[in-house]
Amino acid sequence: MILTHFLAISRKELYHIVRDPGTLLLVTIGPVFLMVVFTYTLTSEVRNAPVAVIDQAKNTASRDLIEQMDTSEVIAITDRLDTPGEANDLFDRNQIVAAVIIPEDYGTIKADGTMSPVDGIIDGTEPVSAQAVIDEISYIAQADAEKIYVEALGEDATNFVRPPITIDEEVLYNPELDNLFDFYPGLVGMMLGLPAIALAMAVAREAEHGKLEQLVATPIKKRALLLGKMAPYVGFGMLDVYLLLVMGRLAYDVPFEGSILAYTLVAILFLVANLGLGLLIAVFIRSQQVAMLVAILVFFIPPFFMSGIFFPIDAMPWIVREEMNAFPATSFVAISRPLFLQGTGLQHLWESTAILALLAIGYLELAVFAFRKKVIIDLPNPFHRVEKAETDAVSQRSVEGAAQ
Amino acid sequence: MPAETLVELQAVGRQFGNVAAIQNLTIMVNRGELFGVIGPDGAGKTTLMRMIAAVLNPSQGTITVGGNDTVAAAEAVKTMTGYMPQRFGLYADLSVQENLAFAADVFGITGKLRRERMAQLYTFSQLGPFKARPAGLLSGGMKKKLGLATALIHQPELLLLDEPTTGVDPLARRGFWDLLSNLHANGTTTIVTTPYMDEAERCSRVVLLYEGQIIACDEPAAIKARVLGEVVTLEAKDMRAARRVLEEVKSILDLQPYGNRLNIIYDAEEAGAIDHIRTALEDANIAITSLKSVPMRMEEAFTYLVNQHRLQETV
């Protein structure tokens, strides 16, 4: 009987998903689309940042330096000014992010062997792009200074100049695919919050549209009801897992060193835990909009900041670390990163796998336990004050509304 | 043959916050009855049905269906009842066939029995030609028929229909009640709620609900017989003046405005009462367009009983 019920509910839920274009998109290409947007934002570089130049030297060396800066793709010289004071106005109007001041004696090596440095003023409002601009200007100025020394002193120049700056620093702030490797396996876990959000909304929708009243009046087993609703979402979730895996491989060259079987097992555990949490939310919240908001809060915000995708979880206070274990994404990130990149076997990741299994069973059982096969009637909000004369009429009407 | 009780309500009450939706209700419904729950919106009909369907627990009292308590043995009650909520409880994106098949799965109706039942229900509900149509695209009347068919898939001992004819055109309403009469003739026990008084006449017994309380519970004819009066309907030029005059006439039991007419219930025991009414109006120089006797309907009886009830409450 429970199997018949489970299959009946699953089939019905599958029809709902397939026949509603919105839900279908959300659970099929939704995670893939979100991943593309995310990775694009993560890897986007600073380009053509507007920079003003104040050339106080106006000599061959300074013109040469400006020409070098002009060829950069990171910065673009938009203004040529006479005094540093003029730059302030442009900063205020957000027209430039940096101003470069070339000193009067630029290009001349002094008696003590030094050269007057190029000054830079940077708008630090956006630290990441500011850093990229600083690095670019320093790099160009340093290279230019080096050239001047070499021209003046020949091969001996290396004795005076600091060791050449390597371009490694640039990569750090213009995250290229190397960094994406680190994020990608964790991001897969975050994207798989979408099916859970869709499930929470589906349950809330069934209640909101009055369909649950008919269903709870039948002898259907509540375990079959909740598991049956979840099953198609596990299926679509696995489809997403493989799509994301293939996309990582083909589009971003993310290596996959681990066992596909082990990854499948972990992904199923993770999906069941995530969807169980989604069900638990929907058992208590029977309004679609509120369920969606709560689900977004639960499935995106904590995993983003605290599951270890971007910020190392070891650096967090122990209480946060322990709390984050309640979110299935944390364990999934902890398992899938080494599994993806180093091919680590599950026997070395058993602790996180056990937590995932525990969460999967725990959330499901909690949802089944908390679910009541009854009609939930919302009482009029006691905090909503109405005029005394109106009160009786209003509460009477609310009850009628609730009763219908 | 002594009537066997199927549904028993003992001193049932239900509150929402500080509002009492149902107060101290004691009702017995026998096997084979077509039992009507009649009352205006907000009388507590839906609350009552939900409690009998075991999807809402009573605040006070007990309800049993076939001896099963709706709180302690809710699942047993759900197995033996077919409940059709007021709101369309079926799935709009599923076809007629898929909705029926889903209901059959839920009640564990499989194999040959399932094929037979479904064939019967298609004939009975006349939904056969619409098997493949999504339920959301059915007309209002057909949706109700599909709701009835799914509620009947397991041949329940008790059929619970909550306002099955609200929002349905008069022809479809009559068609639906013909189906209910068929079921009644075949011995199905049905509890049906309706705000339409004319439908009450087709029930074997009715309970009149008003603000969660029983006004009357009896056979329709017996309820009408409780009103010791007869009805005349008046049309006049100045209805307000006519009403003022009639409020002073002693033999009049109740005045019920009804559109641009006034139904007057007068004491039939008193001789020449109808002449009293006519003379009283003529004395006041009120031009009578028409004044004629009409048969007492459930409508008048209900309004009369509610007015009496209110009068008692204020005293």
Whether A8 contacts chain B with CB within 8 A: yes
By the 8 A CB rule, do B175 and B206 touch?
no
**Residue (of A93, A94, A103, A92) closest to A53 by Cα position:** A103
- Give all strands of the β-sheet with B60-65 in edge-to-edge order: B19-30, B5-16, B60-65, B68-69
Q: Which residues of A touch B93 (CB under 8 A)?
A: 15-16, 19-20
Q: Which residues of chain A are within 8 Å of residue B41 when distances are taken between CB atoms?
A: 400, 404
Q: Mean pLDDT over all residues of chain B? A: 90
Both tokens assigned to A252: 């971003």
The rounded distance, in Å, linking the Cα atoms of A63 and A81 is: 14
Q: Tell me, yes or no, whether A354 lies in a domain.
A: yes
Statement to judge: residues A258 and A328 lie in one domain:
yes
* Residue A388 domain-assigned (yes or no): no
**Residue that terminates a domain, selected from A127, A161, A195:** A161
Give yes or no: residues A99 and A220 share one domain. no
Closest CA of chain A from B103, distance in Å? 9
Residues A331 and A185 in one domain: yes
- Say which of B42, B83, B91 has its CB closest to residue A217: B83
pLDDT tens across B212-268, in order? 999 999 999 999 888 888 888 898 888 888 888 888 887 888 888 888 888 888 877
CB B85 to CB A1 under 8 A? no
Residue A59 domain-assigned?
yes
Domain boundary among A113, A132, A161: A161
Chain A segment 364-383 residues within 8 A of B by beta carbon are: 373-375, 377, 379-380, 382
**B193 touching A, CB under 8 A?**
no
Interchain proximity B89–A379, CB inside 8 Å? no
Backbone torsions φ then ψ of A344, nearest 5 degrees: -60, 135
Mean pLDDT in residue range A137-160? 76
B79/A219 CB distance under 8 A: yes
Q: Which residues of chain A are within 8 Å of residue B18 when distances are taken between CB atoms?
A: 395
Is any Cβ of chain B less than 8 angstroms from the Cβ of A387?
A: no
Q: Which residue among A19, A219, A403 sits closest to B107, beta carbon to beta carbon?
A: A219
Asked if residue A376 is part of any domain, the answer here is no
The number of domains in chain A is 2
Q: Is the pLDDT of residue A326 over 50?
A: yes
Residue where one domain finishes, among candidates A126, A161, A196: A161
> Is the Cβ of B50 closer than 8 Å to some Cβ of chain A?
yes
What's A127's domain CATH number?
A: 3.40.1710.10
Q: Is A134 within the bounds of a domain?
A: yes
Residue whose structure tokens are 């904590």: A302
* Interface membership of A213 toward B (CB under 8 Å): yes
**Same domain? A116 vs A208:** no
Q: Which helix or strand (DSSP H or E) is residue A386 part of?
A: none
pLDDT digits (tens, 9 = 90+) for B126-181: 999 999 999 999 998 999 999 999 999 999 999 999 999 988 888 889 989 999 99
Contact criterion met (CB < 8 Å) for A213 and B102: no
Which ipTM value was assigned to this complex? 0.86
| Residue A387, in any domain of the structure | no
Could you tell me how many CB contacts below 8 A there are between chain A and chain B? 103
Q: A288-299 vs A193-208: helix axis angle to the nearest 10?
A: 160
The pLDDT of residue A397 is 41
When the pLDDT of each residue in chain A is averaged and rounded to a whole number, the result is 83
Contacts of B84 in chain A (CB under 8 A): 214
Q: Are residues A202 and A249 in the same domain?
A: yes
**Whether A356 contacts A269, CB under 8 Å:** yes
Length of chain A as a residue count: 404
What pLDDT, in 10s, does the model give residues A226-269?
A: 999 999 999 999 999 999 999 998 888 888 888 999 999 999 99
Q: Which of residues 72-101 of B touch A (CB under 8 A)?
A: 74-75, 78-79, 81, 83-91, 93-94, 98
The verdict on A259 and A362 lying in the same domain is yes
Same domain, A77 and A98: yes
What distance in Å separates the CA atoms of residue B259 and residue B270, rounded to the nearest whole number? 28
> Under an 8 A CB cutoff, do B50 and A375 touch?
yes
d(C-alpha A33, C-alpha B148), whole Å: 44
Residue B192 in tokens:
């049906």
Same domain assignment for residues A238 and A333: yes
Query: Domain containing A133: what range?
Result: 49-161
Where would I find the H helices in A93-162? 127-153, 157-160
| pTM tops 0.95, yes or no | no
pLDDT (mean) for A43-47: 74
In a domain, A196, yes or no: yes
Distance (Å) from the alpha carbon of B290 to chain A's nearest alpha carbon? 38
A65/A106 same-domain check: yes
Same domain for A299 and A194, yes or no, is yes
A347 and A239 in one domain?
yes
DSSP alpha helices (H): ranges in A162-286?
A: 168-173, 177-191, 193-208, 211-216, 222-252, 260-284
A183 with A256, same domain: the answer is: yes
Name the residue among A256, A229, A254, A218 with its Cα closest to residue A340.
Answer: A256
Residue A173 belongs to some domain of the structure: no
